[in-house]
Structure 1
Amino acid sequence: MTHLLQNYGTRIPMTFTHGEGVYLFDETGKKYLDFTSGIGVMNLGYSFEAGKAAVKTQVDALAHLSNLYNNPLQEEVADLLEQADDYKAFFANSGAEANEAALKLARLIRPGKEILAFEDGFHGRTFGAMSATMQDKIQNGFSPMVSGFSKAIYNDVDSLKASVTPQTGAILFEIVQGEGGVTPLTAEFAAALKSCQEQGILLIVDEVQTGNGRTGKLFAFEHFDLQPDIFTTAKGLGNGLPVGAMLVKNCYADCFSAGKHGSTFGGNPLAMASAKAVLTELTSDGFLAEVADKADFLKAQLKEKLASKPTVKAIRNLGLMVGIQLTDGTQLQEILSDARAQGLLVLSAGKDVVRLLPPLVMTKAQLADGVAILEGIL
């Protein structure tokens, strides 16, 4: 008997009681090496003491503050996010909410124009974000979708060119399609998107999963010399607390005038205290360089140990965001189950991809331990 809706299906029969570092412990005391980070949330692990201390201090002082009043923490977090003061920030509670804000703002900036998105992309399950998520399994049962969206094939320059019309006002995309199978943007496609931007089409980058250091840069678009007109982030921004953000170039910021959008809990003091601690850590000297170094190590380990396995079709990554594509997708759930049995937590993506999102603070030795378990299974 459960009092919960079954929208998550049959949950994995495991109950975790606590986390330490990059490990989770279940009710029997068994320890699991976490290569999921709570689906890209716990980027700094379960023992990020600066974040815990900041939240504890804030909850004792002021747990909530209406957006009717000044909130200095919001200014501090926005300053850490703003990319050389080129952007202004709006705070929400999740990636889907941040993307909804981006879509609304795009329609104000380019009224009456369409927003182009891509097959296998994922932007959330609220109606606007879902309408931009070009996957039947996400949209089925909810028609009609919000109008004003068109689609193209990701990383296909010819498809992009054919899909862009005079009615295209903005293009929404991920730097790495996460739910779609961990497919990174190609340099050629990035150049084609930049060309669209030069023609006056807005670029909206969804950094919900790729942001906050996941790829070895604060934001993944930095790998491609892109400067989006709007970008969003969430997941790892709060290291466990629900927080999202949308950032827009200063030249468009006035389009979100008073009353055009809002959120009761967006920019909540608890979330901002955690986000400030997270961003302070991410932007400290050498942190992201160390993440990039560990990503290179993990890539080398995967290539050496797994690439030649007959069960492995391809290995894709950008930083510490990895997809291991299987030759037979029917084995996917069995592999995830076998990994759990051996004390390793990994994710799926799409129909045939094992997804790895280890915490950014995981050591090389711990990364190697996880790869060794996968090697035995595959």
Structure 2
Amino acid sequence: MIDVDEIRNPQIQMFGLTGADTVYTFYHDETNNIRKLHVGEQGLNVPELKTFVLGGVVHEGPQRPLDLSSLRQVMRIQPSAHEIKLKHVAKGEFLDILKSSKLTAFLQWIADNDLMLHYHELDPLYWSVVDVIDSILPELGNSMLIEYHALLKSDFAEIVRHELPFVVDLFRRYDYPDIVPQNREPFLNELIDLVERNAGLLDEGMNAMMLKGVLQAGRSLDELAFIEGFSARKLIEDFSAFYRNRVAVFKNSKHIMDMETEIRDAFEDVQLSCNGEPFTNYLFSDSHSEAGIQLSDIAVGVIGKMHTYLSQTSAEEVDRERAALTGAALENAELLRDLIDNSNAANRAFLHHVASLHDIDKLDRFLRFADGRYA
């Protein structure tokens, strides 16, 4: 068993979260769950990495009825459709679905019915590679560098993304994250070369020098704690930990999750507890019978497409495409911005990103939050 306080307390302290004790009702669905991410002889087991999103809609207080009849009517959903899903709203990639008038109706309905958005966003590539920096930086005892921890990881991920085939082959050759001691220095030397030839990707020359310096310093360490002694070539084993985190952080709330058998089985294999007693503030339910899960399917589908688009698009192109929005696409971008902004204002713990600062900056650029920034 895992005690929920062992999961939640460090996160509350680390991120300065408030409002985690408030009672809410969360509905959860997911998108882009690749199950596992491994390095094989021919490369990654997944042909295209998209952003994983776990989230949906949430409201304050105990569970209340959610009547979707008015939403189905305004979205013109046929009676033969037993549930509403993203495919009933729009199809295509992020910029395509933004043009949908049905998406306008959906986002406005969410706002009008006192619902908020919540989500945990995870870039699987970022998550898989930043252990390199996390293995080195805390061991150096340099308080100035620690201040740039998130930026260093973001810069490293940016360079890795630019030369992903090379890095995947590097991971294969060195059995990352199971680097043996004798390979520590040659592994880091290849990463140093990678940074040197891609220094121009980073905004400031100092950024590349700082990143290179951290990797160089890693060669003198006795171990690289997070990339030695783990399963060779296995980058992500499953996503159940992110479900547990959401359930644990909001332990006084009710969590209604779409029935994902692998996640349900993982919860059964490693059960949660509180003060030594079984802890079950969650349940797995069928989307047919839970209107909140149907709403969450659409919400996470849109958010997942948005964050995947941002991770695959340059900041300059994001600026150009945002400036070109008109009509329904512009209205939907503004509605989505307002929903995210209001949710963040209601409770900062609703929204969590495991992603590059550069991609979060692109979120600011595209949605254009009123204060010019989003955390």
TM tier, shorter chain?
under 0.3
- Name the structure with the higher helix share: 2
Higher RCO (Cα < 8 Å, 6 or more apart): 2
Largest Rg, 1 or 2: 2
Q: TM-score, with normalisation over the residues of structure 2? A: 0.27
- Name the structure with the higher strand share: 1
